[in-house]
Amino acid sequence: MSNFSDPSTSDRPFVNIAYIGGGSRYWARDLMKDLALQARFDGEIALYDLDHDAAKKNVEIGTRIFAREEAGCSFKLRAVHTLKACLRNADFVVISIEPGDTELRYADLVIPERYGIIQPVGDTTGPGGWLRALRSVPTFATFAHAIMDICPDAWVINYTNPMTLCTAALYEAEPDIKAFGCCHEVFGTQTRLQRMAEDSFGMKGLTRADIHVDVTGINHFTWITSATCHGKDLMPLVREKLQDPATLADRTRPARKRLREGKVFESDGLVALDLARRFGALACAGDRHLVEFVPWYARDRKTLHRWGVVCTSYEYRMKARGGEDPDVDTYDQQKMNPTGEEGVRQMEALLGIADLDTNVNLPNRGQCPDLPPGAVVETNAAFRHNALTPLTAKAMPPGARTLVRRIVDVQGMTLRAAMNRDLDAAIQALYCDPLVTIPTDKAAEMAKEMIGHIRPMLTDKRMRPPYPTEAVCG
């Protein structure tokens, strides 16, 4: 019986999950924890990773997790050597990969900074997001073809950045694929709004789920046009907060403290509020991402720190990659708490167990009326039994729409260039990126250097992204 048959007439579902990037230290293990803490379906997870040993370790870890007393379900795990073996009989396909070795992030982050372009994250837009897309898009096209050949009815959940372009590549390669992209950045803004509601209205015991927001835009450059909590409008609270001169005060000292303490993922939400002040809608991604779409916040490190934002440096990322991985035994002892991610809840909704409305990334079929049709956008959507329906978002204010539209156009150029393996077209897209404020001859020089650094990966047959050996870049 299909796992997507009527849940009122079927037994407890047994679900096959294919995990591409199954050696992940973060996403894969968090998914296994969330799966273990639910008691509505059982199943099997096939873990596929180019690092097969990492996938095998996750089998050991997952086995410990599902053996815990708190586990409410039973899941088998196996590490597989091929994508085909991973996808066979899959009901859900989860993708969370690093497109190439972490060392390739040198080209994303360090080379652009030598040309004066600062990127706190460098995985979505700007030169770093651009180069990461060139590495990712052809690989995702390969995934899409394999999925439609082996498990065409499976639902595909993408966690990989650049979220917009990876999700777009799946649909560009296979328009009938059932894929969506998931990001938790909106959740942080909902949590901030929750605290504002608690403080202003005296509400106690609220959770993020009590905050209902209208979301529109693109991943990491999303905007909230309305927000309510049990019928109370929260947007006046945002405007009231902006009346306080201390709200947008200089955050240089906290930023430098974060650097000293290695808390590079923290920020104050200051950029989101400043964008709300200037454009009339609340930006609802983390400040580290937001500053990469609007160059005036990231002119240099001094300006970045004024807004409380610090960079996750290449050195930090390399150190984290080489850091000690917890022993398998640790997963017998750690307290198991829900991660706050929604992957398992999305699966439950698609299985017909419980409905869910949440923000996801999907091609624009009218849900974002002020952005181009077909472009991957982020809005709320209704997860129901074997169905995912995007919900129409309110229009963005004109200024916000103009900022987002430029990014959409650049992303479209990058997608087409990456799908066609056309480096010259890709470099034109780089010229158009808002963060690339340097002269075009310098941008071309930077592009050559960046591409040269990742050349081995661009010709790695395992990743399937063959590009020409040279580009005009002039």
Residues 24-42 have pLDDT tens digits of 999 999 999 999 999 999 9
Cα 137 to Cα 46: distance, rounded to the nearest angstrom? 23
Check: CB of residue 216 under 8 Å from CB of residue 225: yes
pLDDT at position 474: 35
> With 0-12 CB in 10 A as exposed, 13-18 as middle and 19+ as buried, what is 115?
middle
Beta-bridged to residue 272, according to DSSP, are: none
Q: With 90 as the cut, is the pLDDT of residue 470 above it?
A: no
Question: Predicted confidence band at 263 (pLDDT cuts at 50, 70, 90)?
Answer: very high
Residues 319-324: contacts with CB under 8 Å, at least 24 apart = 321/102
Question: Predicted confidence band at 2 (pLDDT cuts at 50, 70, 90)?
Answer: low
- 358-368 average pLDDT score: 98
- Provide, rounded to the nearest whole percent, the portion of the chain with pLDDT above 70: 95
In 3D, which of 267, 205, 203, 266 has the Cα closest to residue 234?
203
User: What does residue 105 show for φ and ψ, rounded to 5 degrees?
Assistant: -65, -15
pLDDT at position 9: 60
Check: CB of residue 461 under 8 Å from CB of residue 130: no
- 240-256 average pLDDT score: 96
pLDDT, tens digit (0-9, with 9 covering 90-100), for 110-157: 999 999 999 999 999 999 999 999 999 999 999 999 999 999 999 999
Q: With 90 as the cut, is the pLDDT of residue 100 above it?
A: no
Q: Which two tokens stand for residue 32?
A: 């296994």
pLDDT at position 8: 64
Q: With 60 as the cut, is the pLDDT of residue 1 above it?
A: no
Q: With 90 as the cut, is the pLDDT of residue 406 above it?
A: yes
Check: CB of residue 446 under 8 Å from CB of residue 434: no
Determine the residue type at 165: L
pLDDT at position 306: 97
- 395-410 average pLDDT score: 98
pLDDT, tens digit (0-9, with 9 covering 90-100), for 199-221: 999 988 999 999 999 999 999 99
pLDDT at position 79: 98
Q: Which residues contact 69 (CB under 8 A, 6 or more apart)?
A: none
pLDDT at position 137: 95
Q: Which residues contact 354 (CB under 8 A, 6 or more apart)?
A: 40, 345, 348
Mean residue pLDDT of the chain comes to: 93
pLDDT at position 326: 86
Question: Predicted confidence band at 458 (pLDDT cuts at 50, 70, 90)?
Answer: low
Question: Predicted confidence band at 7 (pLDDT cuts at 50, 70, 90)?
Answer: low
Cα 366 to Cα 391: distance, rounded to the nearest angstrom? 9
Q: With 90 as the cut, is the pLDDT of residue 456 above it?
A: no
Question: Predicted confidence band at 469 (pLDDT cuts at 50, 70, 90)?
Answer: very low
Question: Predicted confidence band at 331 (pLDDT cuts at 50, 70, 90)?
Answer: confident
- 166-176 average pLDDT score: 98
Check: CB of residue 94 under 8 Å from CB of residue 159: yes
Which residues are catalytically annotated?
A: 184
The yes or no reply on domain 102-122+184-327+340-460 and CATH 3.90.650.10 is no
Question: Predicted confidence band at 463 (pLDDT cuts at 50, 70, 90)?
Answer: very low
pLDDT at position 114: 97
pLDDT at position 471: 39
Q: With 60 as the cut, is the pLDDT of residue 379 above it?
A: yes
Q: With 50 as the cut, is the pLDDT of residue 267 above it?
A: yes
Q: With 50 as the cut, is the pLDDT of residue 465 above it?
A: no
Q: Is the dihedral of CA 262, 265, 269, 275 positive or negative?
A: positive
CA distances from 28 to 34, 55, 159, 267, 454 (A): 10, 9, 11, 26, 26
- 361-377 average pLDDT score: 97
User: What does residue 195 show for φ and ψ, rounded to 5 degrees?
Assistant: -65, -35
- The full length of the chain comes to 474
Cα 35 to Cα 331: distance, rounded to the nearest angstrom? 15
